[in-house]
Homo-oligomer: A and B are copies of this chain.
Amino acid sequence: MPRIGMEPLRRKALISAAIEAIHARGMGQVTMGEIARRAGVSAALAHHYFGGKDQLLLATMRHLLSELSDEIQARLAEAETPEERLSAVIRGNFAAGQFRPAVISAWLAFYVQAQTDPEARRLLRVYTRRLESNLVHALRDLTTRERAARVAETAAALIDGVWIRRSLAEKSPDPEEAARFVEEAVRTALRRSDA
């Protein structure tokens, strides 16, 4: 069933399938076969497009990272006050598309991968730095420059921490509630640091 111009669609389908498969089976157990089956293509095609399991996984993470970036940029574009910018960064991280069980599984797996795989680590650093830079930028007008860095780190840690903890909680994660929780905690840290 070869049709022309299918490559981009197949690639997307494979990446989506990879996210679901990682969630369902766990990163350690996913096979190219499983992912390809979910995407409705042959394992051979997945290989043809991505070159191998590791590279499909990296492509998947690049995709998630870029989606996350888009979520945050879209919110930042509409933000007008410093408070809104701060909120945009936090809420972007808990956007509906991101804060889903399957995506969380992929992120955690990515953290693990980053421990050993240099390319994964590099990608993760890009995300980390971008988050920090966004936070520092938003906080610059809300406190002194020295405090901004420290509050930004607190905020980043809270985002990651809440993210992970919520993803392991019994009930399915509630993005709105999680974002609100982080926002309030950061606001608290911020007011305190004004004093």
Q: Taking beta carbons and an 8 Å cutoff, which residues of A are in contact with B?
A: 23-29, 101, 104-105, 108-109, 111-117, 121, 124-125, 128, 153-154, 156-165, 167-168, 170, 181, 185, 188-189, 191-193
Contact = CB atoms under 8 A, between A and B. Distances in A.
Given A159-B161, A165-B157, A108 B108 contact: yes
A105 to B, nearest CB: 5
Question: Taking chain A's interface residues, is the majority helix, strand, or loop, or is none over half, making it mixed?
Answer: helix
Given A161-B160, A189-B185, A116 B168 contact: no
Query: How many copies of the shown chain assemble into the complex?
Result: 4
Given A162-B157, A185-B154, A114 B193 contact: no
A188 B181 contact: no
Given A189-B188, A192-B188, A168 B26 contact: no
Given A26-B117, A114-B168, 9 more contacts: A24-B116, A25-B116, A26-B115, A27-B112, A28-B28, A28-B113, A109-B112, A112-B112, A161-B161
The residue among A25, A157, A185 with the most chain B CB atoms within 10 A of its own CB is A157
The residue among A24, A164, A188 with the most chain B CB atoms within 10 A of its own CB is A188
Contact of A105 (B112, B157, B159, B185): B112
A164 B168 contact: no
A94 to B, nearest CB: 13
Contact of A128 (B128, B165, B192): B165
Contacts of A108: 108, 111-112, 115
B158 A164 contact: no
A156 B161 contact: yes
B109 A105 contact: no
A106 to B, nearest CB: 10
